[in-house]
Amino acid sequence: MKKEAPKHFKARILLLSTMLTLAGIAFIGIGMFRYTPHPILHNVFARGLPCLMSVLMIALPWLAPQLSKSSICDFRPSYRDRGSCRVPVVGGA
């Protein structure tokens, strides 16, 4: 029995990969074109990045429905970032 792919799977993956690639190009553009010698190019990349990230954050529930809501926006005060992993903090500060 052949397993059927989720609805719009290829479109979601294509859109997600395109947006992440464009965000990566924007980060590279910001780093490559310093503000002092190239203010216009630097500003194009720097102003485009928040737009891309905003659309990506708004579209993330549709683009990746398998992610839980808590993994998309987990801002619980009982956790603190320590390096690259999340460590539970016992008792307040």
Owner of token pair 């390096």: 83
What pLDDT was estimated at residue 25?
Answer: 95
Position 62 pLDDT exceeds 80:
yes
Residues 55 and 80: their CA atoms lie apart, in Å, by 27
Cα–Cα distance for residue pair 3/22, rounded to 1 Å:
32
Is 43:10 a contact under the CB 8 Å cutoff?
A: no
Q: What is the per-residue pLDDT for 41?
A: 93
pLDDT reported for residue 19: 93
Tokens encoding 51: 């737009």
The residue among 71 and 64 whose pLDDT is bigger is 64
